[in-house]
Structures are given as C-alpha cells and as structure tokens.
C-alpha cells in the first residue's frame, strides 16, 4: 500500500490508500454469456494521484495489473486477463460455466513508483437457460483488446444479428486466436492476431448461416478458393468486423448426444488382498568384464607408454649427444685460442723488462711523488666504527 509521505499529507494519502484497499465492486452475470470487465487505468491513477502530485510525477505512469481469485494464486479457469501494454487498460473476460460467487483480487501496480492499489471484484454468476443454437465466427482483422470494449461487442453483435436474422442473440464467448493455436502475426500494419466470437440464440440458424454446412461451401474452403457468399449474406458494416466464412462453425446443442454416465464410485476402501509377496531379487551380475575394461586396459596402456617414454629418454641419447659434441668442440676451440693469445701476450710483456709505471703501483701519491709503505690491510676495518 502507498506509504504516507510527510505529516502534512498524512490524512489525504492514507485515506485514499484505505479507500483503495476497500474498493469492492459487485457484478451479477448470467452463466453461459460473455463477461467483460475493463480495468480502467484512470480509476487507479486517481488512487495514485495524491502521491503523484506530491512528487510531481506525470499523470500517465505505466501500470500493470495482477489478478487472482481471493486466496488462490491464479484466476478461476473460466476467467482470463489481458492487457496489451502498461499504458493500456486491462480486461478481465470469460464465460462462467456454473452459478456461484467468485471473489477476484485486482492489484494495480504503478511501474514508476511501485505503489499498489487493491480492488476487490465480486462476481456472482446466476443460472441461465443455455442457448441451444450457437455459432462461432472468426474475425481476422481484430485483436482481443479491440473487441472487448462493449461498443465494439455491440457492433459485432449487430452484424451477426442481421446474419442470423434475429434480435435474440447473445455473445457466448470471445477468444484470442493465439489461445487456440493461432500464430503471432508479423509486427506490421494490417496483421492481426484474430479473434473468435461465439454467439448463441434460441432461434434456429438462418439460411445464410446454414450455407456454411453445405458440401459445396466446404469444398471451396478446402480448395482455398474464393468462397462465394451471396451479397445478401454479407452484413459487415466495418471491414475489420468481417468474418472469415471458412472458419465459421455451427453448433446445434439440441442434437448433442447425452453425456456418458459418470463412472460408478466405489466404497473408497480397498479390497483385502493377502500378504505382500516381495519380488525376486535381481540376478547377480558379473563385474569382471567391466573391471577389465575400466581398470586393466588403461593400466596396460599406461605401462606401455611409461616404457616407451623411458626408452626414448635413456636408451636413445645418440641424437642428443651428437649435437652436444658439436657445441663442446666449438667451446674447446674458443678456449684454446684464448689460452694461446694470453700466453703470447705474457711472453711479449716479459720481453720488455722495464719496471712498470709508478702510477700502477699501490699507494703512490701522484702530487708529492711519495711512496708509502703498503698499509696492513687487516688493521683497517672495512667499515669505520660509528661515533
Ligand atoms: C470459451 O473459449 C475458451 C477458449 O477457447 C474455452 O476455453 C472456454 O471453454 C470457452 N467457454 C465456453 C463457455 O464455451
């Protein structure tokens, strides 16, 4: 529920929240007729409005609805919910099949602020005589949300009343073609999901409707040929409400065979059936082949690989030795030449016989020319004591 902002707004906001929580709407509908309930964004936005004003938000917040039967996770089987986008109104629709009371909880959630408002819808379905003659038509150029508003339902009903040649006509069911195995259309203009509309009447089908059952019509439909329907049978004022003749089906419920008798119910107590006889234990299995395959074979393979590797490493060093020998030879040659050169230099130096320059002697002072006796190197500490 909406939180209460500041104290100044406390009473307004909370009062509205409480009002929203207690909003309960009661409807009474007949069994076997289509029921539609439009969830108007505007009414719910009014509930959010005080807070929206408080925060200066726009009036057109996106909104989603969550609907479920009270204390159940989902809607009852006969009731469906649809909302195209969070900026569209939502619809609850369906055909109740039995009399009784259903309580539906509707939560409207503002997707901008995540405020929520709850509404309770009490649907009371009253028994009604079944309409014995029913026809289902397919409207190709429609989408379920566009058909559910009462004004559009009336347009479609009026066309079908003319087709049936009777005023006593009721819409029994409206179904999204996608719920009946239809395909999602391309997101292009002129492509629609399609809607099935089922109508019922106490009066027998008109001649126009009965054409659908003729062999000729069915042959044309199978051949996907252009279906010829006399002009007197085409009653759609608005092109988008025109029906697909090949998908029109008639149901004569008076001719239905009676439902098969329900299965006989027993006493609910199992017949006593002696002692429990455990089944034979399964035959013992021989695991030796498995052992060979999973343990012995990989082991042998590993040993073979080990031996092979050992042979390559220790038994066949020739190739490696040859290369090493070459390297050694080159190194020896270098060594030899260096030795020779050094000896040669030494002998040349020995031949000169002159004393080496003073500057090369240790402890020679180049300014005074003094020569000091070499210091006893062990008397000088390498690192002078600190202090
Ligand atoms: C209405 O149509 C839906 C979808 O095809 C179906 O599940 C439901 O049983 C129909 N209800 C009646 C009363 O025919």
pLDDT tens sequence across 302-314: 999 999 999 998 8
Residue 259, both tokens:
């439902």
Are residues 118 and 196 both part of a single domain?
no
Are residues 177 and 192 both part of a single domain?
yes
Are residues 65 and 161 both part of a single domain?
no
Are residues 6 and 63 both part of a single domain?
yes
Q: Which atom of ligand 1 is nearest to the CA of 97?
A: 13
Are residues 21 and 85 both part of a single domain?
yes
Nearest to 101 by CA among 82, 120, 118: 120
Are residues 219 and 239 both part of a single domain?
yes
- Tell me how many domains the chain contains: 2
State the pLDDT confidence band at 378, using cuts at 50, 70 and 90: low
Residue 143 located in a structural domain:
yes
Rounded mean pLDDT of 160-172? 92
The pLDDT assigned to 99 comes to 93
Rounded mean pLDDT of 86-96? 95
The whole-angstrom separation of Cα 170 and Cα 167 is: 9
Instruction: Mean pLDDT check: name the lowest of 156-170, 299-313, 336-350.
Output: 336-350
Query: Is the CB of residue 134 below 6 angstroms from any atom belonging to ligand 1?
Result: no
Please give the mean pLDDT across all residues of the chain.
82
State the pLDDT confidence band at 381, using cuts at 50, 70 and 90: low
Nearest CA to ligand 1 atom 4: 175
The whole-angstrom separation of Cα 306 and Cα 287 is: 28
Are residues 117 and 29 both part of a single domain?
yes
The pLDDT assigned to 7 comes to 39
Give residue 173 CA to ligand 1 midpoint distance, Å: 6
Domain boundary among the residues 230, 252, 274 is at 252
- Summarised one tens digit per residue, pLDDT across range 245-301 is 888 999 998 887 778 888 888 888 888 878 888 888 888 888 999 999 999 999 999
Pocket test for ligand 1, best of 35, 77, 78, 136 (most atoms within 8 A of CB): 78
Domain boundary among the residues 126, 153, 184 is at 126
Are residues 59 and 7 both part of a single domain?
yes
Whether the pLDDT of residue 374 is over 60: the answer is no
Residue 350 located in a structural domain:
no
Residue 224 located in a structural domain:
yes
Are residues 60 and 122 both part of a single domain?
yes
146-162 burial, b at 16+ Cβ within 10 Å, e below that, comes to: ebbeeebbebbbbbbbb
Higher pLDDT, 272 or 116: 116
The whole-angstrom separation of Cα 157 and Cα 36 is: 15
The pLDDT assigned to 3 comes to 40
The pLDDT assigned to 18 comes to 46
Nearest CA to ligand 1 atom 13: 95
The pLDDT assigned to 56 comes to 60
Query: Strand order of the sheet with strand 133-139?
Result: 170-176, 195-201, 133-139, 243-252
38-52 burial, b at 16+ Cβ within 10 Å, e below that, comes to: ebebebbbbbbebbb
- Summarised one tens digit per residue, pLDDT across range 18-68 is 444 557 899 999 999 999 999 998 888 877 766 556 666 556 889 999 999
Residue 175 located in a structural domain:
yes
Residue 84 located in a structural domain:
yes
Whether the pLDDT of residue 352 is over 80: the answer is no
CATH number at residue 107: 2.60.40.10
Nearest CA to ligand 1 atom 5: 175
Domain boundary among the residues 185, 219, 252 is at 252
The pLDDT assigned to 373 comes to 63
Rounded mean pLDDT of 198-222? 90
Rounded mean pLDDT of 323-337? 75
Whether the pLDDT of residue 322 is over 80: the answer is no
Residue 114 located in a structural domain:
yes
Are residues 22 and 63 both part of a single domain?
yes
Q: Are 193 and 218 in contact (CB under 8 A)?
A: no
Residue 159, both tokens:
């066309």
Residue 50, both tokens:
């005080």
Are residues 139 and 248 both part of a single domain?
yes
The pLDDT assigned to 372 comes to 66
Are residues 164 and 246 both part of a single domain?
yes
The whole-angstrom separation of Cα 90 and Cα 38 is: 6
Give residue 75 CA to ligand 1 midpoint distance, Å: 15
Rounded mean pLDDT of 1-20? 40
The pLDDT assigned to 317 comes to 63
Nearest CA to ligand 1 atom 8: 78
What is the domain extent for residue 197?
Answer: 133-252
Higher pLDDT, 374 or 79: 79
The pLDDT assigned to 281 comes to 84
State the pLDDT confidence band at 234, using cuts at 50, 70 and 90: confident
Q: Are 70 and 104 in contact (CB under 8 A)?
A: yes
Whether the pLDDT of residue 207 is over 70: the answer is yes
Residue 210 located in a structural domain:
yes
Give residue 199 CA to ligand 1 midpoint distance, Å: 12
Residue 266 located in a structural domain:
no
């Amino acid at each position: 529920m909406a939180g209460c902002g500041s104290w100044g707004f406390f009473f307004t906001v909370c009062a509205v929240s409480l009002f929203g929580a207690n909003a309960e709407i009661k409807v009474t509908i007949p069994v076997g007729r289509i029921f539609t309930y439009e969830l108007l964004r505007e009414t719910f936005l009014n509930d959010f409005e005080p807070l929206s004003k408080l925060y200066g938000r726009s009036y057109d917040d996106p909104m989603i609805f969550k609907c479920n039967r009270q204390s159940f996770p989902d809607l009852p089987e006969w009731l469906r919910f649809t909302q195209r986008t969070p900026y569209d109104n939502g619809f609850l629709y369906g055909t109740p099949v039995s009399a009784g009371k259903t309580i539906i909880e509707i939560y409207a959630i503002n997707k901008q602020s995540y405020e929520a408002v709850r509404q309770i819808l009490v649907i009371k379905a009253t028994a009604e005589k079944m309409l014995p003659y029913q026809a289902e038509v397919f409207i190709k150029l429609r989408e379920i949300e566009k058909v559910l508003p009462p004004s559009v339902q009336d347009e479609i009903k009026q066309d079908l009343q003319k087709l049936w040649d009777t005023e006593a006509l009721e819409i029994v069911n409206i179904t999204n073609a996608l719920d009946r195995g239809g395909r999602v259309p391309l997101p292009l203009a002129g492509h629609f999901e399609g809607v099935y509309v089922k109508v019922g009447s106490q009066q027998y089908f008109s001649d126009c409707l009965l054409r659908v059952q003729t062999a000729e019509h069915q042959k044309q439909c199978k051949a996907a040929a252009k279906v010829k329907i006399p002009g007197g049978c085409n009653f759609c004022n608005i092109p988008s409400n025109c029906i697909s003749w090949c998908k029109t089906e008639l149901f004569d419920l008076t001719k239905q065979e009676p439902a098969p008798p329900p299965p006989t119910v027993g006493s609910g107590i199992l017949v006593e059936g002696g002692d429990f006889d455990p089944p034979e234990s399964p035959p013992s299995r021989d695991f030796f082949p498995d052992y060979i395959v999973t343990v012995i074979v990989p082991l042998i393979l590993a040993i073979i690989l080990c031996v092979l590797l050992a042979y390559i490493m220790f038994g066949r060093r020739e190739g490696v030795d040859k290369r090493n020998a070459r390297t050694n030879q080159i190194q020896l040659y270098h060594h030899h030449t260096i030795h020779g050169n050094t000896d040669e230099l030494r002998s040349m130096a020995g031949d000169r016989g002159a004393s080496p320059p003073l500057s090369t002697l240790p402890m020679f002072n180049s300014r005074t020319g003094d020569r000091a006796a070499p210091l006893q190197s062990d008397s000088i500490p390498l690192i002078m004591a600190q202090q």
